[in-house]
Amino acid sequence: MNSLEWRVTASLAAIYAVRMLGLFMILPVFALYAETLPDSTPWLAGLAIGIYGLSQALFQIPLGILSDKIGRKPVIIGGLLVFAIGSVVAALSHTMWMIVVGRAIQGMGAVAAPTMALAADLIREENRIRTMGIIGLTIGISFMLGMMLGPVISQLGGVPSIFWFTMLLAFIGIALVIFAIPTPARTLQHNDAGIIKGYLGKALANIALLRMNVGVFILHLVMTANFLVLPSIFENELGLPSAEHWKVYLPVFLGSFLLSIPLIIIAEKQHKIRPLLLGCTVALIVAELVMGWGYTHTVWLLVAFLLFFIGFNFLEAVQPSLVVKYSAVNTKGTAMGLFSTSQFLGIFAGGSLGGMVNHTWGATGVFIFSALITLVWLLVALQLPAPTFYTSKILKLDPLLFSDKQRLYDELTAVAGVKEVAISADECIAYLKYDKATLDEAALDAFSAPSA
């Protein structure tokens, strides 16, 4: 990529991270902070965490479609302003209900879909997949940073300071959009990076994709529910004040990250993604049961916490890959949009349902509930078909070839190794899935646009 593309990629990744930090930084500290508020209940504490996910899910698809009509930058700037307003409301709140309102407003600034689409507008076709991957990585980075920064910032200025910090991040994001990111010459719908209304029905009719949506919903439900009780357990059972929770999070997150990397490599390189997905789901169930049984014992708690995040990191990494494998080449962007919406709905469900379970049955109940709901995902995942391990590619086409679009499609499909083709006449590109081992690259290159 050239310097402009790297600048655009870095800036958009930073903007993408803002909304995730808005969720993750309060996870390790909010349950304890909620206990100090006069109208707090475990259910309200869960709702305050989860409502962010509900409003994100509700506004993500509409804002993505709106950005196709009025442009990416106005929608992203507007979304970040809404996020900043929600941060101010939450920071100034002294009751749980007002924090719930602030968190709901924060989530309305759902800029993920417009951000991905803006990247596709500005990045050359041959570099677009790399850019999408880099932006996607910010989710994992944001999670680790948020879980470690949250307790530190809270110790310095209390939980309200986290909301002030997210407001500052939102304004930094707005500055990046205005000053660092150029306005694209054209705003187009992108099959690989946008939610397209005409493809929603196709994505929803794909049973394998529906199963993946269930999977990411449950994964984030369980993660959110766990963090309604874990901060209190660390404080009461381990004797760690909130400011020292990083002593648990840092080694566990780094250790689980390093241990999950070999699993991810084996899954992709050796085509073992389905059995390892099932195995890591079983690991989540075991981790939840062990935490429910032994959270009063330090060693058992920490071992189970590590096991949970090995499974969580693996599933977080491979589930999007499976969505791409199961989706048709021309519905990838829409499928990923629905997948992301399911993720945020899971966060909402984890906060609200986890809060109710915690109120009634306490921490043990939350862990048992999480184990049971993960078992549901295991039963769903058992029905997943074996995925195909094809490579995605965007090919810039010679505009002269579009004089006969059907012939162009037929000839591309006939190239050895090409498995799926979708053509975008607006962009003069083809979206391809192909088998690397059998692809006739020379034949494919004949369709490329001539060099400038």
By CB neighbour count within 10 A (0-12 exposed, 13-18 middle, 19+ buried), where does 81 fall?
middle
The CATH 1.20.1250.20 portion of the chain extends over 3-381
Cα–Cα dist 219/223, whole Å? 6
What is the pLDDT, as a whole number, of residue 349?
Answer: 97
Per DSSP, what are the bridge partners of residue 418? 434
**Which of 100-114, 236-250, 359-373 is the least confident region?**
236-250
pLDDT, residue 49, reads 94
The first and second tokens of residue 287, run together, are 């981790």
Residue 130's pLDDT is: 84
**What's the mean pLDDT when you consider all of the chain?**
91
Residue 392: phi and psi, rounded to 5, are: -95, 145
Amino acid in position 329: V
Between the alpha carbon of residue 86 and those of residues 269, 328, 403, the distances in Å are 43, 37, 51
Q: Domain 3-381's class?
A: mainly alpha
- pLDDT at residue 229 greater than cutoff 60: yes
Say if residue 301 is exposed, middle or buried (CB neighbours under 10 Å; 0-12, 13-18, 19+): buried
* Residues of the chain by 3-state class (helix, strand, coil), percent to 5: 75, 5, 20
Which class is 391-445 in CATH? alpha beta
Concatenated DSSP letters for 265-276?
HHHHHTT-HHHH
Check: CB of residue 111 under 8 Å from CB of residue 63: yes
Query: What pLDDT, on the 0 to 100 scale, is given for residue 284?
Result: 98
Question: In the prediction, which pLDDT does 451 show?
Answer: 59
**What does the alpha-carbon distance between residue 396 and residue 388 come to, in Å, rounded to a whole number?**
24
Element (H, E) at 423: strand 418-424
Alpha-carbon distances of 208 from 204, 213, 221, 391, rounded to whole Å: 10, 9, 20, 19
Sheet strand arrangement including 418-424: 391-396, 429-434, 418-424
Which two tokens mark 326? 């199961």
What pLDDT does 48 receive? 95
Contact 346, 216 (CB under 8 A): yes
pLDDT tens column, 389-447: 998 888 888 888 888 889 999 999 999 999 999 998 888 889 999 999 999 999 998 88
> For residue 221, is pLDDT > 60?
yes
Residue-wise pLDDT tens digits, 427-439: 888 999 999 999 9
Ranges of CATH 3.30.70.100 domains, the chain: 391-445
Q: Look at 449 and 84; give whichever has higher pLDDT.
A: 84
Q: Who contacts 210 (Cβ-Cβ below 8 Å, separation ≥6)?
A: 204
Q: What is the pLDDT of residue 141?
A: 83
- What are the backbone angles phi and psi of residue 237, rounded to the nearest 5°? -90, -35
Alpha carbon distance 107, 112 (integer Å): 11
Please name every residue paired with 421 in a beta bridge, in sequence order, or none if there are none.
Answer: 432
